[in-house]
Structure 1
């Protein structure tokens, strides 16, 4: 059995990280697997680039520029909507031709257009599509922000400059429908139970066989480290209680930074004199950390997994105020390092957090309850128990062996 994973990149975001982790998990379990990407960014030998740099840049611009010029409502949705009108035909690439199973992941940013996806489906090979967000069954948005138009045919999209019944979202939805309607060889995987349920309610993928299989994680890399040692290494206060927050893009609306700011100010009012320090990492162009009520150590983008594991281990609590998310890598990583997580009860997050056992599930969009959760985890009398439960959650559900075997069973069943 030869499997080819297909993802836009092999580094640089949540889907690339999840795809690369699956690649390694499958290799460890004896699967002959390759990953096809638009441009190769790592030294992994099993990753192959299918598109030249010039072509990749051209397709990215051909997708982005028309959207920005004619359809974008404002900058906040610039990369939250993908029309997938331009991409590369990779159907004849050796990595595709030699595969017994094609395994799609995240293919946007000019890698595969809707037509290119149809070309892969028309090869007649079994196709597994792991959903890392909602894009596969919407008219273009990656997360709908509460909109349910995808249940029918999309249209009147709030992200567009001129929403209407036959707007861009409806046209994209129709192109997807035309490309998927005869795809009898398509099998859908959702990383979370929530996204699987949403996909089943959609007009595009509702009839496709769908199962929930989580992302895997390397429990050797992401494991508890000596808190005092890693704090000293990173210049973090060894005597303070540490709140950690990170995101690929801190300013992304979905990541809920405004709710975190409010929650921290509420927390400050409640604890007054307690010594607390914030550690923040990720891309940050606009957020002013000086508005936070605690001392802040700000780090830039952290890409090395070993460094991430040390930061999680240095913290007393990781906070994820995300408003829409599938199965956040960062929450899983924190739990694997034995650090409990405070987050909103939203999306696929309840698949990871067991309330008051390995973290705290706050009422959706309630900054007050999020503050309660952070305080509960910071000052718990059973920190050792929370840490043990956090690690155990990962060991029982998300290891390379557990997840790889679920995928291998799926592959065998559809072959």
Structure 2
């Protein structure tokens, strides 16, 4: 059985990292698994870039730019520029040798100029079994990656709140219609990384008639495992006698990551926590460091971390990880933090409640409540050493039991066997 994963990015962003980890986990489990991406970000034997030459790389960049330009005239504001993908721009990979040789095509996050809706239609026309791991809602909406409070995807998209001029026949409606046509007779099995996302897919008009599965992303729990806290801090040149609160995001300033809520909650924590002078912040990710200068605690900014050892050290060095995201599926960061024995404080949104068990391995916060976010951070910090050690152990054990790569690879292998035995749909 040959499996080919299709992803716009190789190691940039949570969806690409999850896809890459699954590819590696399947190979370690004995499956012939490979990955085809727009461009590679590192040399990896089982990963192939569609863009090989300098010209092809320039064209890949141009496709990304064209994809964004197609949305520019329609966007409600700059704030939503990367939250909606029309998928009008892409490339036809249906005749690529890796696609032709594959027994199963496994889609991940494919927009931003890699695969258009027409590209997907050409893949589905091959009548190969297709597994689609949904890292957001895009596959079953008219174009948004997360719909927020809008439930138009349950019927037929239109009047989209992300668009400057919403209308029944707007860009989201035409995107929905294109997907409806593309999905006809496809041998498609959607998979939600979280139960929350799988439930939404089952409620959708595009995937509601399909057998939607729910399988989490995998993690190498041998790589992501706790380091001794003092040693981790010394490795990163951090203070050894402070309480460190960790915040991490690919782009710290992204609205969906809730940095403003984090900042407000820290102001409350500074007022309410008796030992506030012992607290400092640890932050890693991309973005403008000037955002951090108004925080009410001293901070240590590590920038974007690429080396897995440094990432593990950062999680291990922290006393707790704070994730105030307003939209999430099944965050890799929560999984990584818990695997390193660091409890998590985060909003009760998306797939987070499936990961964080309230006051067992972290603290679930009332959605968008600054007060409860501050309360959650303080609750973890105030726990006696024995209770905190149990929180850390619970966090680690939960990840090993539910998300270890061997567990997830086994579940996907069972799914692959099932979809290959099902055969193509009947000809209409």
1:222 corresponds to: 224
C-alpha distance 207-287 of structure 1, shift in aligned 2 (>3 A)? farther
1:71 is paired with a residue whose SS is coil
Give CA-to-partner distance per residue, 1:207-231, whole Å, 9 cap, x none: 1111110011011111100111121
2:8 corresponds to: 8
Deviation at 1:288, TM superposition (A): 2.1
Contact 1:200–1:210, Cα closer than 8 Å, also in 2: yes
2:63 corresponds to: 59
Deviation at 1:246, TM superposition (A): 0.6
Give CA-to-partner distance per residue, 1:86-134, whole Å, 9 cap, x none: 1010000111000110000010110000000011001010000000001
Match of 2:347 among 344, 347, 350: 344
- State the alpha-carbon separation in 2 of the partners of residues 232 and 45 from structure 1: 34
Q: Does 1:258 align with 2:260?
A: yes
Deviation at 1:287, TM superposition (A): 5.5
2:101 corresponds to: 98
- State the alpha-carbon separation in 1 of the partners of residues 233 and 34 from structure 2: 38
Match of 2:296 among 271, 293, 296: 293
Q: Does 1:390 align with 2:426?
A: no
- State the alpha-carbon separation in 2 of the partners of residues 311 and 300 from structure 1: 11
Q: Does 1:366 align with 2:369?
A: yes
2:424 corresponds to: none
C-alpha distance 152-179 of structure 1, shift in aligned 2 (>3 A)? same
Q: Does 1:407 align with 2:412?
A: yes
Contact 1:251–1:286, Cα closer than 8 Å, also in 2: no
User: May I ask how many residue pairs the two structures share in their alignment?
Assistant: 413
1:149 corresponds to: 152
- State the alpha-carbon separation in 1 of the partners of residues 229 and 104 from structure 2: 44
1:317 corresponds to: 320
Q: Does 1:161 align with 2:164?
A: yes
Contact 1:237–1:277, Cα closer than 8 Å, also in 2: no
1:288 is paired with a residue whose SS is helix
Query: What is the correspondence of 1:101-140 to structure 2 with a 5 Å cutoff?
Result: 101-140=104-143
Deviation at 1:142, TM superposition (A): 0.7
CA root-mean-square deviation: 1.1
- State the alpha-carbon separation in 2 of the partners of residues 414 and 178 from structure 1: 22
Deviation at 1:254, TM superposition (A): 1.0
TM-score (norm 2): 0.94
- State the alpha-carbon separation in 1 of the partners of residues 200 and 71 from structure 2: 26
Contact 1:25–1:401, Cα closer than 8 Å, also in 2: yes
Select between 300-309 and 208-217 the one with higher mean Cα deviation: 300-309
What stretches of structure 2 of length at least 5 have no aligned partner? Answer: 421-428
What stretches of structure 1 of length at least 5 have no aligned partner? Answer: none
2:330 corresponds to: 327
Contact 2:4–2:33, Cα closer than 8 Å, also in 1: yes
TM-score (norm 1): 0.97
